[in-house]
Amino acid sequence: MVRKEIMKRLVHKYGGTSLASIARIKKVADRVAKWRDSVPEVVVVVSAMAGETNRLIDLGESLSENPNRRAMDQVVASGEQVSAGLLTIALMDLGYDAISYCGWQVKMITDGNHGKARILKIENNRLEEDLGKGRIVVVTGFQGVTEKSEAISTLGRGGSDTSAVALAASLNADECLIYTDVDGVYTTDPRIEPEARRLNEITFEEMLEMSSLGSKVLQIRSVEFGGKYKVRTRVLSSLKDPKLSIKDELSCSTLIIQEEDRNMEEALISGIACNRDEAKITIPGVPDTPGIAHKILGPIAEANIDVDMIIQNAGIDGLTDFSFTVPRIDLTRATERLEKKVIDEIGAKTLHTDKNICKVSIIGIGMRSSVGVASKMFEVLSKEGINIKMISTSEIKISVVLEDKYMELAVRTLHAAFGLREA
């Protein structure tokens, strides 16, 4: 959906792929300039150039196996500073009045959790002043300044998305345009299902589920921010011709909106997400007693390891099997922690791990008012001979854990079964 009313203030965000080279930075400058000719106030949030953050992390880790997180934030934050400066130079060369700021200059104030800081508040008086003077303001994404020590902090991977949406909320922008290497949110990963189609609209709630379940289009915290502060957020491609008209550019995008703003009959299912980055841990013979889940998962939480799906079977003879999934990258740390702190304490004999799993999920707010969705999903998978290992549900999603080798077949089959190929 393209907005008919005139937009007066916008926040753009460009990721590392969009800024990967001088040629691409020039194209970003051309695109920003095009928008500035139609919209009086434009703020641009930038990521580091593609590959730069990884290079900076490698430098730090070449000096220490466990580098100080505060010091590492100073290192990795420099990537966005370079992007902001280069884009500002390019805009000024086109004849536009532009100025760049780091996150700590804005100020984007965060807590002290270096590497995964959370935004507490934004002091944007400086930006308001510059916008009032007609300047294009370029801001580094991914970073801020801690409230207590005023040290540079970073927001974690994908943090530039969060920076952009937070700034849009703080500035009461008409929209936040997230430019990436895809032209919107698709019904599923087009690399798996070529007939996946781009959605014109999706609700924040659906997008939040898709982001948490494996969709890499937007960072999950940015979606949370957008939903909480009602920031109209749009996903567009920065790889299209920057001279494309604004109308045509908006027509090739996905707008993320509040559920009450949806102006069409909601589809039963909006999309299918999939994720191979999970592993399953099962502890058999666990005492079926109150508090056992906390004894198992408490040490996992203390290690800052996310737990996703959890299953505790019905007890037999006072014992039960307890299974849960964690990010595959954290499997070794999780098992080591369980073996050291949990297994002997709860009287279990062993634990089993499985890295050869995947998670496939169907998402849609239409599920709230429809019955039989789960039954249909299970029937479709059964006909393909796909066994389900774990199941998790909410009002608008159903997730299943399957053997890794069945992921693509499951996605394609469900995509067809729920009519997602149809426009």
pLDDT digits (tens, 9 = 90+) for 145-164: 999 899 999 998 889 999 99
Tell me how far CA of residue 78 lies from CA of 74, 109, 256, 261, in angstroms. Answer: 7, 18, 31, 39
**What are the residues whose beta carbons fall under 8 Å from the beta carbon of 139, sequence distance 6 or more?**
43, 44, 45, 46, 84, 100, 101, 102, 103, 106, 127, 163, 167
For residue 232, the tally of other CB atoms under 10 A from its CB is 19
What φ, ψ does residue 325 adopt, rounded to 5°?
Answer: -115, 150
265-423 to CATH, choices 1.10.3720.10, 3.10.50.40, 3.40.50.2300, 3.30.2130.10 = 3.30.2130.10
Q: Return the pLDDT at 5.
A: 60
- Percentage of the residues of the chain whose pLDDT score is greater than 90: 76
Q: Return the pLDDT at 288.
A: 87
CATH code 3.30.2130.10 region(s) in the chain: 265-423
**Residue 215's closest CA among 253, 187, 237?**
187
pLDDT of 21 over the 90 cut: yes
Over the chain, what is the mean pLDDT? 92
Q: Give yes or no for a contact between 13 and 143, defined as CB atoms under 8 angstroms apart.
A: no
Tell me how far CA of residue 266 lies from CA of 254, 367, 405, in angstroms. Answer: 15, 10, 32
Distance CA 358, CA 123 (A): 42
Mean pLDDT of 203-220: 84
Distance CA 179, CA 236 (A): 5
Dump strand ranges (E) for 181-336: 201-203, 233-237, 254-257, 271-275, 278-287, 310-312, 319-327
Q: Return the pLDDT at 264.
A: 52
Q: Return the pLDDT at 266.
A: 59
Mean pLDDT of 194-203: 92
Lowest mean per-residue pLDDT among 199-203, 211-215, 393-397: 211-215
pTM comes to 0.84
Mean pLDDT of 200-222: 86
pLDDT of 14 over the 50 cut: yes
- Percentage of the residues of the chain whose pLDDT score is greater than 70: 96
Mean pLDDT of 49-56: 95
Give per-residue pLDDT as tens, 74-116: 999 999 999 999 999 999 999 999 999 999 999 999 999 999 9
Q: Return the pLDDT at 262.
A: 66
Assign 1 a pLDDT band (cuts: 50, 70, 90).
Answer: very low
pLDDT of 338 over the 70 cut: yes
Assign 169 a pLDDT band (cuts: 50, 70, 90).
Answer: very high
Q: Return the pLDDT at 230.
A: 93
- Asked if the peptide bond before residue 107 counts as cis, ω within 30 degrees of 0, the response is yes
Q: Return the pLDDT at 220.
A: 86
pLDDT of 265 over the 60 cut: no
pLDDT of 349 over the 90 cut: no
CATH code 3.40.1160.10 region(s) in the chain: 9-262
Mean pLDDT of 64-74: 94
pLDDT of 248 over the 50 cut: yes
Q: Return the pLDDT at 78.
A: 96
Lowest mean per-residue pLDDT among 169-178, 258-267, 369-378, 412-421: 258-267
Assign 3 a pLDDT band (cuts: 50, 70, 90).
Answer: low
Q: Return the pLDDT at 152.
A: 97
Residue 397 one-letter amino acid? K
Q: What is the CATH number assigned to the segment(s) 9-262?
A: 3.40.1160.10
Widest pairwise Cα distance in the chain = 78
